[in-house]
């Protein structure tokens, strides 16, 4: 008989750890932080993302993929070979675990775009990679791209965070930013591709909560060529950040205001200059507004962001200590790895915590 789990609407545990000078840290830190929040998971999904883990291949896009069978693996390899130079192709190292069953085929590809693939129509290298990720996820049955950024990678599956860390040998990696997630799904299926983090290029999102605006966000993104195929609301968050930060070159602070905008009634009481700005953001990016309870951590090549919904229906704690920045669902996760930080606080609703690399 399967074990019954109660519905914990405030569940899911998230952690972000970053060194602002770019010094790399062993994966043991994020494992320890996640393990003290095990009760926030129910074994239906967890994962990790690390930045700076592939210094030898830092200039190549690192595709992490999972395949249901050899046919989907072969089709995807052929697809990549048509569009990219394959610098290295290998199985993602794993350690057999009785807690992790029904594992798909897991491979990573370090690739460079073929020179004749970028025409003069304004398509950038990143645009080309995004297009290929969408094609693989939507057109090759049984194939799924876990991550596609440079010098970073995502490792995720069905299971508890500690077991997944052992399975993917997270301690073997060193990163300047670590992101962790332990899932407690309440209205979406638990499957390998649906575990967090969700990514596109180097943008990585872990999420606690629910995006009730998913339908509007999804239709908005589809107008820009994104395809949401992963059966979970969190997927839109990664694509929205890619659209605003990379495609539209919107400053981080403005992007966060678009995704977690203040209520109209609050905007009307603000000073004129700020009121005009927020009205413009809400009018231009109204379909990017994310409704519902959420706390997210976004990792990217240049930093890390923590963000709550506009009335803070999910917990998030932040801390700083020298060059280190920490984000977590619970204070205990931070104090497990930094017992006495210089500053620790609970960010206000809709107010982002922004960490940037300085090196």
* pLDDT tens digits along 16-40: 999 999 999 999 999 999 999 988 8
CB 80 within 8 A of CB 63: yes
Region 268-273 average pLDDT: 94
Q: DSSP label at 225?
A: T
CB 211 within 8 A of CB 217: yes
Compare 176 and 41 and report the one with higher pLDDT.
Answer: 176
Q: How far apart are CA 158 and CA 172, in angstroms?
A: 20
Cβ-count burial 279-316 (b if 16+ within 10 Å, e if not): eebbeebeebbbbebbbbbbbbbebbbbbbbbebbbbb
The contacts of residue 70 (CB under 8 Å, 6+ apart) are 105
Q: What are phi and psi of 56, to 5 degrees?
A: -65, -30
Mean pLDDT of the chain: 92
Domain spans in the chain, listed from the N-terminal domain onward: 13-206+311-356
Q: How far apart are CA 316 and CA 330, in angstroms?
A: 7
pLDDT at 2: 40
Q: How far apart are CA 153 and CA 174, in angstroms?
A: 11
Compare 88 and 234 and report the one with higher pLDDT.
Answer: 88
pLDDT for 241 beyond 50: yes
Tell me how many degrees the CA angle 27-327-177 measures, rounded to the nearest 5: 35
Region 339-355 average pLDDT: 97
pLDDT at 38: 86
pLDDT at 116: 87
pLDDT at 82: 96
CB 279 within 8 A of CB 198: no
Closest CA to 204 of 91, 296, 128: 296
The contacts of residue 190 (CB under 8 Å, 6+ apart) are 44, 45, 158, 183
Closest CA to 229 of 144, 129, 288: 144
Out of 12, 228, 256, 338, pick the active-site residue.
12
Residue 72 CA from chain centroid, whole number: 24
Q: What are phi and psi of 102, to 5 degrees?
A: 55, 45
Compare 181 and 101 and report the one with higher pLDDT.
Answer: 181
Region 196-225 average pLDDT: 94
CB 219 within 8 A of CB 182: no
CB 111 within 8 A of CB 87: yes
CB 13 within 8 A of CB 41: yes
Q: How far apart are CA 224 and CA 208, in angstroms?
A: 26
Residues 13-206+311-356, CATH architecture: 4-Layer Sandwich (3.60)
Q: What are phi and psi of 107, to 5 degrees?
A: -135, 160
Assess whether 338 carries a catalytic annotation. Answer: no
- Looking up tokens 């905008």 gives 261
* pLDDT tens digits along 93-127: 999 888 887 899 999 999 999 988 987 778 899 99
Strands (DSSP E) found in the chain: 13-19, 25-26, 46-51, 61-67, 84-91, 105-113, 143-147, 152-157, 174-175, 177-182, 198-200, 203-209, 294-300, 303-308, 317-321, 324-328, 343-345, 353-356
Q: How far apart are CA 353 and CA 151, in angstroms?
A: 24
pLDDT at 177: 98
- Both tokens assigned to 214: 């998913």
Q: How far apart are CA 296 and CA 316, in angstroms?
A: 8
């Amino acid at each position: 008989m399967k074990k019954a789990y109660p519905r914990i609407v405030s569940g899911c545990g998230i952690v972000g750890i970053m060194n602002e000078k770019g010094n790399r840290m062993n994966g043991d830190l994020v494992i320890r932080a996640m393990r003290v929040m095990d009760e926030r998971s129910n074994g239906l999904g967890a994962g990790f993302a690390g930045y700076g883990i592939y210094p030898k291949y830092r200039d190549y896009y690192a595709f992490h993929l999972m395949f249901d069978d050899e046919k989907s693996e072969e089709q995807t390899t052929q697809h990549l070979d048509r569009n990219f130079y394959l610098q290295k192709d290998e199985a993602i190292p794993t350690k057999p675990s009785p807690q992790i069953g029904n594992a798909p085929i897991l491979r990573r590809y370090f690739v460079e775009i073929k020179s004749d693939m970028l025409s003069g129509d304004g398509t950038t290298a990143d645009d080309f990679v995004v297009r290929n990720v969408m094609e693989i996820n939507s057109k090759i049955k049984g194939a799924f791209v876990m991550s596609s950024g440079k010098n970073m990678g995502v490792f995720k599956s069905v299971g508890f965070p500690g077991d997944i860390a052992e399975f993917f040998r997270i301690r073997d990696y060193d990163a300047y930013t670590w992101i962790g997630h332990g899932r407690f799904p309440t209205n979406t299926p638990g499957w390998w591709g649906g575990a967090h983090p969700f990514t596109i290029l180097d943008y990585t999102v872990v999420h606690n909560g629910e995006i009730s605006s998913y339908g509007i966000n999804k239709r908005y993104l589809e107008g820009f060529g994104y395809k949401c195929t992963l059966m979970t609301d969190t997927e839109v968050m990664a694509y929205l950040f890619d659209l605003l930060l990379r495609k539209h070159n919107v400053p981080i602070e403005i992007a966060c205001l678009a995704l977690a905008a203040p209520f109209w009634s609050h905007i009307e009481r603000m000073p004129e200059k700020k009121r005009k700005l927020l009205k413009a953001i809400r009018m231009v990016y109204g379909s990017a507004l994310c409704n519902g309870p959420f706390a997210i951590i976004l990792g990217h090549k240049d930093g890390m962001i923590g963000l709550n919904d506009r009335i803070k229906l999910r917990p998030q704690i932040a801390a700083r200590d020298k060059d280190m920045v920490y984000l977590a669902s619970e204070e205990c996760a931070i104090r497990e790895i930094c017992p006495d930080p210089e500053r620790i606080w609970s960010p206000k609703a809709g107010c982002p915590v922004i960490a940037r690399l300085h090196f």
